[in-house]
């Protein structure tokens, strides 16, 4: 069975052996948090309350959560234009994220970054960038720093399938291997780069093979199955921390909404309705939820409590963001007209 076909099957209950119930519920909760946050943001974009372009992470939650579950505060994460999920999974504060999205002074970048440049260095999130592939070399630089200081950390670069068409991606793989740096390259293959299917722009259909060309241990993983992501990430992060060099992971996933904004892109010729429905029907969070309910790790009361808590937390964060001030005009000193 291919990785894609397996996305329509229940998660194998044997695969959670060795993962504590607390960890499983915590990952479920974080995936749900990202899902709900993105849903709220999408609705605020549609109502034009939020003006910054938002590239929603809906559908891709398992990748950020499964990887970041193993990271410590002083491990680094570098993200892209689609960064909300990475930020939250790395432990980012929801109020600061929401305020940033509203362009407020209380945002994690003091209102200067907006949705596409989410950063919080104190949390090990030095930067995100809308320049496709732009943060991959930054992660390699962070890996070099870790290596020179002999610190027990890793740098993770999250990037999309589209970024594998950038020259800097190849330079980064080469340098990371050459210097044996603790860098985890996580390519989130959601099959689309803006409005193009990967088959129209990428000569290599199995992206992990690019990592192999650089003699980097490279894997494909079902990014729509949190347990598989979590299990592989554990192994790769441990390997990198032992000084064994970089690792490349191609995680198959699917973005539910269009490239930017809350639309589903069903009124265009970009992708078939049936395709989108298939991924939504086989929802990555629902499949985990079914497993946790079936194994009695979660029950319907606890599930309801989690939903209630998350909705309250998100509404508070939105209120905080709306009531926060815009940056002072003096802050405009680095902005040129």
Q: By CB under 5 A, name the binding residues for Mg ion.
A: 160-162, 190, 192-193
Query: CA 122 → CA 28, 30, 125, 287, distances in Å?
Result: 25, 20, 7, 34
Select the residue whose beta carbon is closest to Mg ion and give its number. 160
Cβ nearer to ligand TPP, comparing 192 with 256: 192
Q: In the complex, what is the shortest distance from the CB of residue 253 to ligand TPP, in angstroms, rounded to a whole number?
A: 9
Burial status of residue 332 (CB atoms within 10 A of its CB: 0-12, 13-18, 19 or more)? exposed
- Which option in Mg ion, ligand TPP, none does residue 37 bind, with CB closer than 5 to 8 A by kind? none
Cβ nearer to Mg ion, comparing 158 with 192: 192
d(CA 252, CA 312): 32
d(CA 25, CA 283): 17
Query: Do residues 70 and 237 make contact, with C-beta atoms less than 8 angstroms apart?
Result: yes
Q: Which residue has the tokens 């599930």?
A: 303
Cβ nearer to Mg ion, comparing 153 with 253: 253
- Which option in Mg ion, ligand TPP, none does residue 259 bind, with CB closer than 5 to 8 A by kind? ligand TPP
Q: In the complex, what is the shortest distance from the CB of residue 293 to Mg ion, in angstroms, rounded to a whole number?
A: 32
Which of 259, 206, 238, 237 has the alpha carbon at shortest distance from 60?
Answer: 259
Q: In the complex, what is the shortest distance from the CB of residue 191 to Mg ion, in angstroms, rounded to a whole number?
A: 7
- Which option in Mg ion, ligand TPP, none does residue 100 bind, with CB closer than 5 to 8 A by kind? none
Q: In the complex, what is the shortest distance from the CB of residue 193 to Mg ion, in angstroms, rounded to a whole number?
A: 5
Query: Do residues 158 and 84 make contact, with C-beta atoms less than 8 angstroms apart?
Result: no
In the chain, % helix, strand, coil (3-state, to 5) comes to 50, 10, 40
Q: In the complex, what is the shortest distance from the CB of residue 130 to ligand TPP, in angstroms, rounded to a whole number?
A: 5
Q: Which residues bind ligand TPP (CB under 6 A)?
A: 55, 81-82, 130-132, 160-163, 190, 192-194, 259
Query: CA 119 → CA 59, 135, 316, distances in Å?
Result: 22, 12, 21
Cβ nearer to ligand TPP, comparing 53 with 217: 53
- Which option in Mg ion, ligand TPP, none does residue 163 bind, with CB closer than 5 to 8 A by kind? ligand TPP
Cβ nearer to Mg ion, comparing 113 with 160: 160
Q: In the complex, what is the shortest distance from the CB of residue 198 to Mg ion, in angstroms, rounded to a whole number?
A: 7
């Amino acid at each position: 069975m291919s990785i894609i076909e397996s996305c329509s099957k229940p998660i194998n209950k044997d695969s959670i052996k060795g993962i504590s119930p607390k960890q499983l519920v915590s990952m479920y909760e974080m995936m749900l948090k990202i899902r709900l946050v993105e849903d709220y943001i999408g609705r605020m974009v549609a109502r034009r309350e939020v003006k910054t372009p938002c590239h929603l992470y809906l559908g891709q939650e398992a990748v950020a959560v499964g990887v970041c579950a193993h990271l410590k505060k002083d491990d680094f994460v570098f993200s892209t234009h689609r960064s909300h999920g990475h930020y939250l999974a790395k432990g980012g504060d929801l109020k600061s994220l929401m305020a940033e999205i509203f362009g407020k002074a209380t945002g994690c970048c003091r209102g200067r970054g907006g949705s596409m440049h989410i950063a919080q260095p104190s949390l090990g999130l030095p930067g995100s960038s809308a320049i496709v592939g732009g943060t991959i070399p930054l992660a390699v630089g962070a890996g070099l720093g870790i290596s020179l200081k002999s610190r027990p950390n890793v740098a993770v670069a999250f990037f999309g399938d589209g970024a594998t068409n950038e020259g800097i991606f190849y330079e980064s793989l080469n340098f990371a291997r050459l210097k044996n740096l603790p860098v985890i390259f996580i390519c989130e293959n959601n099959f689309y780069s803006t409005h193009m299917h990967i088959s129209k722009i990428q000569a290599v259909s199995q992206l992990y093979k690019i990592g192999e060309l650089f003699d980097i241990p490279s894997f494909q993983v079902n990014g729509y199955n949190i347990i598989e992501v979590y299990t592989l990430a554990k192994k790769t992060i441990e390997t990198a921390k032992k000084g064994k060099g970089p690792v490349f992971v191609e995680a198959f996933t699917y973005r539910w909404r269009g490239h930017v904004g809350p639309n589903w892109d069903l009124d265009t010729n970009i992708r078939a309705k049936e395709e989108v429905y298939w991924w939504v029907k086989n929802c990555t969070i629902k499949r985990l939820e079914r497993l946790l309910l079936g194994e009695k790790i979660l029950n319907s009361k606890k599930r309801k409590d989690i939903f209630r808590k998350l909705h309250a937390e998100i509404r508070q964060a939105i209120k905080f963001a709306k009531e926060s001030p815009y940056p002072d005009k003096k802050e405009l000193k680095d902005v040129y007209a």
